[in-house]
Amino acid sequence: MKKMFVKIKESVEEKLRKLCAGLSPEKRVPAIVMLAALFAIGNFYMIFRAIHDIGREDVRPEIIEIPPIEIPDVVPADTLPDKRVQEMEEFFNRFNQKENE
């Protein structure tokens, strides 16, 4: 893919060199100034057109509404059965004993 771009660049560069080689230095300067002016006009047109379009209604993008995420309620520890609380305490006690050893 890169080689293709390099070939295109080289062929365009070669054609421009051939065109410029045929021009005298007196004609070369106005040609360069004219091309630079056309480039600048094109750039300014695109910049000011984009600034102009910012506030227009018909150009505004649609806003996507995302519904809020429903977060489930966490079960408080005091609603757990005593057996479950005891199992959890035993598990954490075993885990803490392994760390202390």
**Structure confidence by residue, pLDDT tens digits, 4-41:** 888 999 998 998 888 878 888 888 888 889 999 999 99
* Predicted TM-score of the model (pTM): 0.41
CB-CB contact of 77 with 69 (8 Å): no
* Closest by Cα among 46, 12, 13, 16 to 31: 16
By the 8 A CB rule, do 48 and 40 touch? no
Map tokens 């080289």 to a residue.
10
Instruction: Give the model confidence (pLDDT) of 59-87 as tens digits.
Output: 566 778 888 888 776 666 566 677 877 88
Amino acid identity, position 68: P
Judge whether 59 and 53 are in contact, CB under 8 Å: yes
